[in-house]
Amino acid sequence: MKKLALNIKYWAKSTALILGLSAAVSCDGFLEEDVVARIGNDYLNTPKGMNDGINAAYSSMRLWYGTERGNNFTIFGTDIFTNGADGSWKFMNTYTNQFDSQNGHVRELWDGLYAGINTCNAVIDRSVNLTGISQSLIDQRVAEAKFIRAHHYFLLVQLFGGVDLQLSETIVPTKVVTRSSVAQIYAAIIADLEAAIPKLEAKAKSTDYGRATKAAAEHLLGRVYVTKATSEAGEASDYAKAEPLLQSVINNYGFKLIPDFGNVFAFGNEINDEVIWSTQYTYDPLNTGGG
Question: Which whole number is the average pLDDT over 238-246?
Answer: 98
Residue pair 125/168 in contact by the 8 Å Cβ criterion: yes
Q: Which residues contact 221 (CB under 8 A, 6 or more apart)?
A: 190, 193, 194, 197, 242, 245
For the chain, give percent helix, strand, coil, nearest 5. Answer: 55, 0, 40
pLDDT band at 274 (very low <50, low <70, confident <90, very high): very high
pLDDT of 11: 39
* Rounded Cα gap, residues 231 and 51, in angstroms: 36
The string of DSSP letters for 193-206 reads HHHHGGGS-SS--G
* Rounded Cα gap, residues 23 and 203, in angstroms: 62
* Rounded Cα gap, residues 272 and 194, in angstroms: 26
Domain ranges of the chain: 41-265
pLDDT of 203: 82
Mean pLDDT score of the chain: 85
pLDDT band at 76 (very low <50, low <70, confident <90, very high): confident
**Nearest partner of 217 among 127, 145, 134, judged by Cα:** 145
* Rounded Cα gap, residues 253 and 272, in angstroms: 13
Partners of 164 in the β-ladder: 179
**Nearest partner of 128 among 174, 83, 84, 169, judged by Cα:** 169
Q: How many CA atoms lie within 13 A of 135 on its CB side?
A: 1
Statement: residue 158 has pLDDT above 90: yes
| pLDDT higher at 203 or 50 | 50
* CATH architecture observed for domain 41-265: Alpha Horseshoe (1.25)
pLDDT band at 39 (very low <50, low <70, confident <90, very high): low
**Nearest partner of 150 among 177, 119, 179, 117, judged by Cα:** 117
pLDDT of 286: 65
Task: Count Cβ neighbours within 10 Å for each residue of 201-211 and write b for 16 or more, e otherwise.
Answer: bebbeeeeebb
pLDDT band at 14 (very low <50, low <70, confident <90, very high): very low
**Nearest partner of 66 among 291, 269, 264, judged by Cα:** 291
